[in-house]
């Protein structure tokens, strides 16, 4: 692919709800621009953008694909992002490096949940937006219904630039509002001028008048001329639209059908004529306040926004150059890590097909293989003028699953594979619990974690199974009690002798463990006191017979006995362990469960459903706040055992419109009947 100057580069991310036709649109843009010679999936389910084994198996996008196209002397870097909630991390990373988001909306289903999620993120970023209403050739599609809904939700900035020519199965082309002309399309996507139907002329005039009103209001000179009855030239309309897009106050709407190649050329024309170039964007800012302009002769600043493992070339890093130019075959400085590493040849990708590049200039997107120490979110910069760009903040993984290899001995392979996958996908989380002795993988949802499981098998030869997630219960004393620990053994030779008397008492939640030595008169020699404490701690870590770590206890060592020959460190460890167990049996043990603070953001209509559901989960409501936009924030404290699958359950309750965040709050006592059942199950599992 030839080089393009920065002003002729467009970085576009296709976003929207799963099934709206984003990948079909990317394929249509490739075909219509001449980059590919086929359209749609092959017999094995492959497309240019959906080439991963999991994408072929599921027939959906699970990762962002890069697909550059050339149109009218411009290079459009198309980033085809997933539309399903489980893979929102990929979408957010792609939006971080794009200059324009094309929201693909199905004319059948209309505005859907993940479209709104992506729109909110685009608003947060200040990212320019255009809208492509797709699938208008399908039964039950409606441009008017979809447009009205978009305007209701996103406001008057939603401005149609084209209208459909025909509807449903008779949809055959588009009517340009700017040009007041109609275009019918053949099977190859080529347009032919046709008359505007008489019954559509009034509607075209109405929409064009609204557009001109908006254009005139954006410029005082244009407004004065417009009010005086003067004409606004086409290039002035396009320039005004361009400014409106750049400032994220106008969201032009074009129509079409990706699979029928209708309107695809109009979208690409809009992107290159009115879409922002990298030069139109605000200079990128570093974490220390430095800025870099999108100039090829400026110091280098490039952000790694995606990492993947290719079976043939290994680790591939995708990057956006925000300033300067990146050349291959040399050393590169990773400003984030403060280290250098060798860089090989540069390339771009159309799906998985590589095209070599000699350099990647400011504003462009490229890829490089086999960077050993560079990860997603890192900044590549000139060593003499370093800058660290803000990284890509991954969404918080909210669904935990305990996993283990099906084959014993594969534990090391599993951990190596998981760490490599987390390098590729920062929206994954991993923890190894010392309390439950489980490996817990955190993801965005069931589909996300299922993809990970399949990739572990295909890429790292580790067959993984999900096992029941153990809740990290804990225990504590119910009441103060004294205990006797006596470890005395005589067997004809060197014996063991250690005796201690201690008092154990419960402490307030969160106070931890306290050990107090009140030995007087040397009943236990000073050197054995730490041994008693060590034995007490060991027994508490094992839960005093419950199997769940004991916490929030004060132990006071009161008295003891020793033998001048047979006493030892081990003997007094055993005495301490037996003493705290005896105190526990007398004072009673109560089970504690982790309580999490939960904040659930939902449309107001679902507030009652959420409150009722949380009460069923033994949750304690703590308030409801109205946050605007018809949404409410429900706050509650809920036992972790009741919400381990809340990421999945909340989607079911709210149709995907609800989101939540959470964090550990405290431990509290489990109801007695439930506690006994939990302890019995734990004991039974320990003896299996």
pLDDT band at 8 (very low <50, low <70, confident <90, very high): very high
- Rounded Cα distance between 631 and 66, Å, is 35
The overall longest dimension of the chain from CA atoms, in Å, is: 118
**Amino acid 311: pLDDT:** 66
For 234-288, write each residue's pLDDT tens digit: 888 999 999 999 999 999 999 999 999 999 999 999 999 999 999 999 999 999 9
Last residue of a domain, one of 467, 491, 520: 467
**Amino acid 592: pLDDT:** 93
- H/E stretch holding 552: none
Q: Which of 542, 548, 539, 546 is nearest to 504 (CA)?
A: 539
- Rounded Cα distance between 471 and 33, Å, is 55
Query: What is the Cα Rg of the chain in Å?
Result: 32
User: Same domain, yes or no, for 508 and 493?
Assistant: yes
In a domain, 679, yes or no: no
Sequence-distant (≥ 6) Cβ neighbours of residue 33 within 8 angstroms: 69, 70, 71, 268
User: Same domain, yes or no, for 374 and 343?
Assistant: yes
Scan for tokens 């389910």, then name that residue: 45
Percent of the chain whose predicted confidence (pLDDT) is above 70: 96
Sequence-distant (≥ 6) Cβ neighbours of residue 43 within 8 angstroms: none
Q: Domain tally for the chain?
A: 5
CATH number for the domain that contains residue 292: 2.40.30.10
Q: Which of 136, 113, 140, 147 is nearest to 15 (CA)?
A: 113
* Residue 560 DSSP label: E
- Range of the structural domain that residue 422 is part of: 399-467
A 10 A CB-CB count for 34 gives 10
Query: Is residue 324 classed as helix, strand or coil in its secondary structure?
Result: coil
- Rounded Cα distance between 21 and 26, Å, is 9
For 45-73, write each residue's pLDDT tens digit: 566 666 666 666 777 777 898 999 999 99
CATH number for the domain that contains residue 622: 3.30.70.240
User: Same domain, yes or no, for 159 and 299?
Assistant: no
User: Same domain, yes or no, for 297 and 196?
Assistant: no
Last residue of a domain, one of 250, 280, 310: 280
Its sign, for the CA torsion 428, 289, 386, 121, is positive
Among 38-42, 363-367, 386-390, 533-537, which is the least confidently predicted range?
Answer: 38-42
Residue 521 gets the label, from left (phi > 0), alpha (psi -120 to 50) or beta, of: left
In a domain, 681, yes or no: no
In a domain, 151, yes or no: yes
User: Same domain, yes or no, for 230 and 292?
Assistant: no
User: Same domain, yes or no, for 542 and 660?
Assistant: no
Q: Please report, for residues 261, 476, 551, 553, 583, the alpha-carbon distance to residue 511 in angstroms, rounded to integers and kept in the order given.
A: 67, 12, 8, 8, 19
State mean pLDDT over 484-502: 89
Residue pair 88/444 in contact (Cβ under 8 Å)? The answer is yes
Residue pair 683/547 in contact (Cβ under 8 Å)? The answer is yes
User: Same domain, yes or no, for 127 and 248?
Assistant: yes
Its sign, for the CA torsion 208, 212, 214, 215, is positive
Tokens for 142? 């409606």
- Rounded Cα distance between 621 and 74, Å, is 55
In a domain, 684, yes or no: no
User: Same domain, yes or no, for 172 and 222?
Assistant: yes
**Amino acid 223: pLDDT:** 75
Residue pair 208/237 in contact (Cβ under 8 Å)? The answer is no
CA neighbours closer than 13 Å in the CB half-sphere of residue 418: 24
**Amino acid 45: pLDDT:** 52
In a domain, 388, yes or no: no
Sequence-distant (≥ 6) Cβ neighbours of residue 227 within 8 angstroms: 216
In a domain, 687, yes or no: no
**Amino acid 504: pLDDT:** 97
Query: Is the model more confident about 688 or about 151?
Result: 151
User: Same domain, yes or no, for 307 and 274?
Assistant: no
User: Same domain, yes or no, for 71 and 199?
Assistant: yes
- Rounded Cα distance between 473 and 679, Å, is 10
**Amino acid 554: pLDDT:** 97
Last residue of a domain, one of 558, 587, 616: 587
User: Same domain, yes or no, for 568 and 488?
Assistant: yes
Residue pair 140/111 in contact (Cβ under 8 Å)? The answer is no
- Rounded Cα distance between 539 and 526, Å, is 21
CATH number for the domain that contains residue 453: 3.30.70.870
CATH number for the domain that contains residue 35: 3.40.50.300
**Amino acid 54: pLDDT:** 65
- Rounded Cα distance between 128 and 99, Å, is 7
**Amino acid 630: pLDDT:** 84
The alpha carbon of 213 is separated from its chain's Cα centroid by a whole number of angstroms, namely 40
Query: Is residue 485 classed as helix, strand or coil in its secondary structure?
Result: strand
Residue pair 32/264 in contact (Cβ under 8 Å)? The answer is yes
Sequence-distant (≥ 6) Cβ neighbours of residue 203 within 8 angstroms: 163
- Rounded Cα distance between 79 and 66, Å, is 5
User: Same domain, yes or no, for 112 and 245?
Assistant: yes
In a domain, 394, yes or no: no
In a domain, 572, yes or no: yes
- Quick one: 368 exposed, middle or buried, by C-beta within 10 A (0-12, 13-18, 19+)? buried
Percent of the chain whose predicted confidence (pLDDT) is above 90: 72
A 10 A CB-CB count for 306 gives 24
**Amino acid 521: pLDDT:** 84
């Amino acid at each position: 692919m030839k080089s393009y100057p920065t002003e002729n580069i467009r970085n576009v991310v296709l976003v929207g709800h799963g099934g709206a036709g984003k990948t079909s649109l990317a394929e249509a843009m490739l075909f219509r621009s001449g980059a590919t010679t086929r359209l749609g999936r092959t017999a094995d389910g492959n497309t240019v953008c959906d080439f991963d084994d999991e994408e072929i198996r599921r027939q959906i996008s699970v990762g962002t694909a890069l697909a550059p196209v050339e149109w009218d002397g411009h290079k459009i870097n198309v980033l085809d992002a997933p539309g399903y909630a489980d893979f929102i991390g990929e979408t957010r990373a792609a939006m971080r490096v794009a200059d324009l988001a094309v929201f693909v909306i199905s004319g059948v289903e209309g505005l859907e949940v993940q479209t709104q999620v992506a729109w909110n993120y685009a608003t947060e970023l200040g990212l320019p937006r255009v809208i492509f209403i797709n699938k208008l050739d399908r039964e039950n599609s409606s441009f008017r219904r979809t447009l009205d809904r978009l305007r209701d939700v996103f406001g008057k900035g939603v401005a149609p630039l084209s209208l459909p020519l025909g509807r449903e199965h008779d949809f055959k082309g588009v009517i340009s509002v700017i040009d007041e002309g109609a275009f019918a399309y053949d099977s190859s996507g080529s347009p032919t001028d046709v008359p505007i139907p008489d019954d559509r002329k009034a509607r075209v005039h109405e929409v064009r008048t609204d557009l001109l009103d908006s254009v005139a209001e954006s410029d005082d000179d244009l407004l004065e001329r417009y009010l005086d009855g003067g004409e606004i030239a086409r290039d002035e309309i396009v320039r005004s639209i361009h400014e409106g897009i750049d400032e994220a106050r106008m969201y032009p709407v074009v129509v079409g059908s990706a699979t029928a190649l209708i309107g695809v050329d109009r979208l690409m024309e809009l992107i290159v004529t009115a879409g922002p170039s990298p030069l139109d964007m605000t200079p990128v800012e570093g974490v220390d306040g430095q800025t870099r302009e999108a100039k090829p002769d400026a110091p280098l600043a490039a952000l790694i926004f995606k990492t993947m493992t290719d079976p043939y070339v290994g680790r591939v890093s995708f990057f956006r150059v925000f300033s300067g130019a990146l050349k291959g075959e040399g050393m590169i400085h990773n400003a984030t890590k403060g280290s250098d590493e060798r860089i090989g040849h540069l390339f771009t990708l159309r799906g998985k097909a590589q095209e070599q590049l000699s350099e990647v200039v400011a504003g462009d997107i490229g890829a490089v293989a086999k960077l050993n120490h560079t990860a997603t979110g890192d900044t590549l910069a000139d060593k003499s003028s370093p800058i660290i760009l803000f990284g890509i903040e991954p969404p918080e993984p909210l669904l935990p699953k305990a996993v283990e290899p099906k084959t014993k001995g594969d534990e090391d392979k599993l951990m190596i594979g998981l760490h490599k996958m987390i390098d590729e996908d920062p929206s994954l989380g991993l923890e190894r619990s010392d309390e439950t002795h489980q490996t817990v993988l955190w993801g965005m949802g069931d589909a996300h974690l299922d993809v990970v499981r399949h990739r572990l098998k295909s890429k790292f030869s580790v067959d993984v199974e999900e096992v029941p997630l153990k809740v990290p219960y804990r225990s504590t004393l119910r009441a103060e009690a004294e205990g006797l620990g006596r470890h005395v053994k005589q067997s004809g030779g060197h014996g063991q002798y250690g005796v201690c008397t201690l008092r154990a008492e419960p402490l307030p939640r969160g106070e931890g463990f306290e050990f107090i030595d009140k030995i007087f008169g040397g009943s236990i020699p000073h050197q054995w006191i730490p041994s008693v404490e060590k034995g007490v701690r060991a027994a508490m870590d094992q839960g005093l017979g419950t199997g769940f770590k004991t916490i929030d206890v004060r132990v006071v060592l009161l008295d003891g006995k020793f033998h001048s020959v047979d006493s030892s460190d081990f003997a007094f460890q055993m005495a301490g362990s037996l003493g705290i167990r005896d105190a526990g049996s007398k004072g009673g043990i109560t089970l504690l469960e982790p309580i999490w603070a939960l904040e659930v953001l939902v449309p107001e209509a679902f507030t009652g459903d959420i409150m009722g559901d949380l009460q069923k989960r033994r949750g304690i409501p703590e308030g409801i706040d109205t946050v605007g936009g018809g949404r409410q924030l429900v706050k509650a404290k809920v036992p972790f055992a009741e919400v381990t699958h809340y990421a999945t359950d909340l989607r079911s309750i709210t149709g995907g419109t609800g989101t939540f965040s959470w964090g550990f709050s405290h431990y509290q006592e489990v109801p007695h009947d439930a506690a006994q059942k939990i302890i019995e199950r734990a004991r039974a599992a320990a003896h299996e």
